Amino acid sequence: MASLPSPLLADQFAPRCDFSRVDHVVVDADPVSTYKAVHDLDLTELHGFLVTAAVRLRELPERLRQRRTPRQRTRFTLHDLDAGTDWVLLGENPGHEIVFGAIGKAWKPVVKWVPVEARGFADFTEPGYAKVVCSISVLPYGQRRTLVNAEMRVVLTDPRAWLSFRRYWRVSTPFVGVISRAILRTVKRSAETGR
């Protein structure tokens, strides 16, 4: 008899979602090496014209408002999210999944983010916001390979926020996909080369 699959840690923060996106990649490395690549992922190593364009396009309204260029990081891992960003590390199932998120009005040109800690994330219900939960998980795939999943779930706190986000999602989802696939490519390259 087959055992039931383990629940995802992301389910604790977004058991149901209004919008979602999942991307996958098969990595020619074992799950331990692959998870190490996820855990050590340096977001400054995401490269490519489309990745740069997606990030800069999202930052443009804030740059114009502040009239200065944001400080460039030399290294930025998922565990660095709590230091100086509006994102928070929500939890980790070591060896299997890491989850991070943010709460804000993503559809606004300059996003109004809500400072939140992991313990208050799931219970946040103030109307007019999007709760964004991102998960990167690894699963054994055959005897020597690993399936890596990058998932984004968005929960809206009221119908008006849902309508606003739906319009934003139609425009932003291709850019979300560009970044998600870049994360997966970087993890794959790192796990397969052992770097």
What phi and psi values does residue 88 have, to the nearest 5 degrees?
A: -135, 140
Per-residue model confidence (pLDDT) at position 37? 93
Q: Which H or E run includes 101?
A: strand 97-104
Q: What are 166's two structure tokens?
A: 């739906």
Domain ranges of the chain: 16-63+88-193
Q: What is the pLDDT, as a whole number, of residue 66?
A: 58
Token readout for 33 is 């090496």
What SS3 class is residue 108? coil
The pLDDT tens digits of the residues spanning 81-125 come to 767 678 899 999 999 999 999 999 988 877 788 999 999 999 999
Alpha helix segments (H runs only) across 23-127: 31-39, 49-66, 118-121
pLDDT at 16: 93
- Consecutive H or E run containing 137: strand 130-141
Give the per-residue pLDDT at 49: 39
CB-side exposure of 122: number of CA atoms within 13 Å? 12
State how beta strands 97-104 and 145-156 pair.
Answer: unpaired
Total Cβ atoms within 10 A of residue 186 = 19
CATH number among 3.30.530, 2.60.40, 1.10.3470, 2.40.128, domain 16-63+88-193: 3.30.530
CA distance 178 to 12: 26
Place of tokens 């209004």: 18
pLDDT of residue 46: 62
Q: In this predicted structure, what is the pLDDT of residue 60?
A: 41
Q: Pairing mode, if any, of strands 145-156 and 130-141? A: antiparallel
List, for the chain, all residue ranges whose pLDDT scores fall below the cut of 50. Answer: 1-4, 49-61, 63-64
